[in-house]
Amino acid sequence: MSSGTADLAWFKSSYSGTQGDSCVEVAFAEQGVHVRDSKDVSRPAFAVSREGWGEFVRFASKG
């Protein structure tokens, strides 16, 4: 994972509550999708390929 994730535009799910619920944030970059813990953004994020992210979203949408 390259440094410089602080400059990315991070997005939290619209399903995430305001009660401090467990959630992740994602940022889309040219080289892939970065994922981090929304409750502790100081922890390292990880990156996956755009294809891998697409597979995850399709899987998660099936419930």
Domain tally, the chain: 1
pTM for the structure as a whole: 0.75
Q: What is the dihedral of CA 44, 33, 25, 55, to 10 degrees?
A: -120
Contact yes or no for 31/47 (Cβ under 8 A): yes
pLDDT of residue 10: 92
Q: What is the mean pLDDT of each run of 10 residues along the chain (63 residues)?
A: 73 73 86 90 91 94 84
Determine the structural domain holding residue 52 and report its residue range.
5-61
